[in-house]
Amino acid sequence: MGAPITYTYYPLNTAFGASNYGGTSTTAPTNTNTTWGWNMGQLSASSACQMDFGVEVARTLLTQWRPFVTASAPDNSIGNCWVIGPFHGTFGSQPFVSQRLTISMSFKATTNSSNQAGRVIYRFWKANNLSGSGAVLITGSYISSSISTTLTTTPQVLTMSTSLPEFICNNEYIFIHTNWLITTLGTNNGCDADFVLGVSASNITLPTFISHDPTNLNLIQDEYPF
């Protein structure tokens, strides 16, 4: 087995390999104000929508906006997750390592700032293929970020930190299913929440990892070119 190591990944403004999911890297990108995320307009509080990577989901797309957070598994057709991996080893092995998963994700209003506020709801999966088919839940719970104040053109960082159970990946990818949940409705149809990515904006720190790969004791995704 490899020595315990804790990885921090940075969400990218490019897709993961040949998939439609959000890409990640251990190399921090420069800060980027994207124009994609969610256009919630004046939809009611508690309405929720999963991420559609690279797209600002319109308020009128009611096949994706729901009155509550969906229980969807990874869906490559819309890219509703960030992807990290693949890994061959154990995360959060007790008793000497961290089991905490921490996500900081930044957002801002692009088109209009008008009272809208919300939070991010996450769910965590793993699968042995990049499509995400047959994905297995790492934890069944929905995990919430902090709640934003009114979004403006100045980025806000929403944080989430939770303790995951020990889990094993057998050359599997981790999928971070990402949803926006409205907590305060906006007052015009241009209200939105878009991702801000980059070294000082958004990052994902995984539980401590111990590699099971005898040929490469600290296996990370950068060693699996696409």
Residue 216: what pLDDT? 52
The pTM (predicted TM-score) of the whole model is 0.91
Note the Cα 160 to chain centre separation in Å.
Answer: 11
Go through the domains of the chain in sequence order and give each one's CATH number. Answer: 8-223 (2.60.120)
pLDDT at position 38 is 98
Do residues 13 and 32 make contact, with C-beta atoms less than 8 angstroms apart? yes
Q: Is residue 46 packed enough to be buried (19+ CB in 10 Å), middle (13-18) or exposed (0-12)?
A: middle
What would the pLDDT profile of 27-48 be if each residue is shown by its tens digit?
999 999 999 999 999 999 999 9
Question: Which residue numbers in the chain have pLDDT < 70?
Answer: 1, 94, 96, 214-226
Burial of 60 (0-12, 13-18, 19+ CB in 10 A): exposed
What are the tens digits of pLDDT across the range 103-136? 999 999 999 888 899 999 999 999 999 999 999 9
